[in-house]
Amino acid sequence: MKKNLAKKSIGYVICFTLTALLLTAFLVIAALIPRRLIKDNMQESAEYLGRQKLFYKTVKEIEGSKADRYADSILLGIVWQLDVDKPLRSVMETAYLHDELGRENISLLDAVINDTPPNQEYIRYWHGSAVILKPLLLIFSLKQIYIFNAVLMAVLLLVLLWQLFKLRAYACIAGIIAGMISISAWFVPVSLEYTWCFLLMLLFSTAVVSMLKKEKDRYMGYAFLVFGMLTSYLDFLTTEIITLIVPLLITVWYNKRIKKAVTDIARTAGYAAAWLAGYISMWVLKWILAALILQRNVWPDITAQIRLRIDGSVTNVSKQGLVSFIKNALIRNIKCLFPFEYGIIGMIAGFSVIALFIFIAVKNHKAGIDKKLCMLYIITAFLPYVRFALLHNHSYIHYFFTYRVQLVTVFSAILLLEEISGFLRKNSAD
C-alpha cells in the first residue's frame, strides 16, 4: 500500500514537472516571435480597442452581456511587450504600458505605435494565453480572434454533445445545454479573458469521455492535475472551477450509469484534489520562478492582491459588514442568470422553469435513490456560491463574468433531477 502510494506520488511529481517545463518553454517560444511580424495586426487590434469603451453591455441593460475591453487591452499589452532579447525574464515580468487614468486601450495604442516601454508588471498570473494569442496575431486581428474563439467554442461544444449523445447521456446533454443557456454562453467569446476556461472545460470534458470509453481510468488523476495546471496558466480568475466540476460530473455520471459502479466519493475527491494541487502549485511556481529570475521579493504585491480579492473594500458595501458584503456579492451574481435579467417576462420564465423542475422531482420521486450521489450533486451545485463568498470582493466587483461559474449549479441540478426521478433516463444508458 505504502509502496503504491509512493509510486503514485512520484508519478504526479514527474507529471507536474514535465508539464510545467513544457508550458514555460511555450511562453519563451512565444516571446521569441519578433514584434515586427505581429505589428500590423496588433496595431489594427489596438485601434479597434481604442475606439471602444473599456466596459460596455453587448445588450442594453443586460449586465451579463458586459464585454471587458480593459482586461483584453492589458493582455494584448503583455503580448506586445514580450522581449525577444530577454524572453525568460519578460515572461516572468509580464509587463505592459499602464495608463494612470486606467485607459489601458489608449496606452496599448501608444505602446504599439510609439514603442513606448512598459511601466507596470502583472507578475501574479502566468498569462499563458500569450502562447495562443501571439501566433494568432501573425494572421488575425483581435476582431478576427474573437470570431475564431466563437467558432472554436461552438465546435468543441458540438463535439462534446455528440460524444455524450453516442453514450445516450441525455441528462448530461440537457445539463450542459441548460447550463450554457443560463450563463448566456453566447456572450463568452466577446472578451478574451472569458474564453479560456470555457475552451478548457469543453476540451477536457471531451477528453474525459474519450478516456472513460477506452477504460483508461488509471490516467484520469494525471489528466485532472494537468488541466488544473492549464487553468492556472491561462485563466484571469474568471470561471476556473468549471474546468474541474463539469468533467468531474461527467466522470461520476459515467461510472454510475454506464459502469453501474457504486458511487466512489474517495476517488471523486482524489480527482478534485489532483486538479486543485495542479492549480495551486502552478500559481505558486510562477511566484517562485519570478522571484528567482527577477532576483527580487515579489511576495508583498502578490499577498496584497490575494487579500484584495478576498476582502477588499467597496464604498458603501464593505462598511455594512461582512455578511452584507457576501450577500450583495451573491445577489449580483445570481441576478445575471438568464433569463432573469430580461424584465418581468424573463423572471416569469425563469421561475416557471424552477417550478417545473420541482414538480418533476416531487411527482416522479422514486425509491432506492443513491444518497451518496445526490449529496455529491448538491455539494457541487453549491460550490459556486462558496466561491462567491470566499472571494466576495472579487465576485462583487467582477460579477458580470464570475456569475458564469453557476453553469455547474445548473448541470448538477439536472443530474440530481435524473437521479431523484429518472428524468431523461428512459431509453438512455440504463
Closest to 229 (Cα-Cα) out of 273, 281, 194: 281
Beta-ladder partners of 57: 66
Give me the pLDDT at residue 319, please: 63
Residues 6+ apart with CB under 8 A from 204: 223, 227, 243, 246, 247
Per-residue pLDDT of the chain (430 residues; tens, 9 = 90+): 566 777 788 999 999 999 999 999 999 999 999 999 999 999 999 999 999 899 999 998 899 999 999 999 999 999 999 999 999 999 999 999 998 888 999 999 999 999 999 998 888 889 999 999 999 999 999 999 999 999 999 999 999 999 999 999 999 999 999 999 999 999 999 999 999 999 999 999 999 999 999 888 888 999 999 999 999 999 989 999 999 999 999 999 999 988 888 888 889 999 999 999 999 999 999 999 999 999 888 877 777 666 666 665 555 565 667 888 899 999 999 999 999 888 888 888 888 888 887 777 777 777 678 889 999 999 999 999 999 999 988 899 999 999 999 999 999 999 999 888 876 665 455 5
Hey, how many other C-beta atoms are within 10 angstroms of the C-beta on 133?
A: 23
Cα 304 to Cα 286: distance, rounded to the nearest angstrom:
16
Nearest CA to 67 among 76, 55, 53? Answer: 55
Dist. CA 21–CA 11, nearest whole Å: 15
**Which residue carries 502552478 as its cell?**
282
DSSP 255-309: HHHTS-PPP-HHHHHHHHHHHHHHHHHHHHHHHHHHHHHHTS--HHHHHHHHHHH
Report how far residue 167's alpha carbon sits from residue 35's, in angstroms, rounded to the nearest whole number.
47
pLDDT of residue 276: 97
List, in order, residues 6 or more apart from 360 with CB less than 8 Å away: 417, 421, 423
Predicted local confidence at residue 427, as pLDDT: 43
Distance CA 424, CA 171 (A): 6
Cell numbers of 394, please? Answer: 472579487
Name the one residue in this structure whose C-alpha cell is 472578451: 191
Cα 4 to Cα 8, 226, 371, 427: the distances in Å are: 6, 21, 31, 41
Query: pTM, whole model, 2 decimals?
Result: 0.93
66, β-bridge pairs: 57
- Residue 282 has a pLDDT of 96
Give the CA angle between residues 277, 280, 282 to the nearest 5°: 95
Distance in angstroms (rounded) separating the CA atoms of residues 149 and 311: 33
Quote the pLDDT of residue 329. Answer: 92
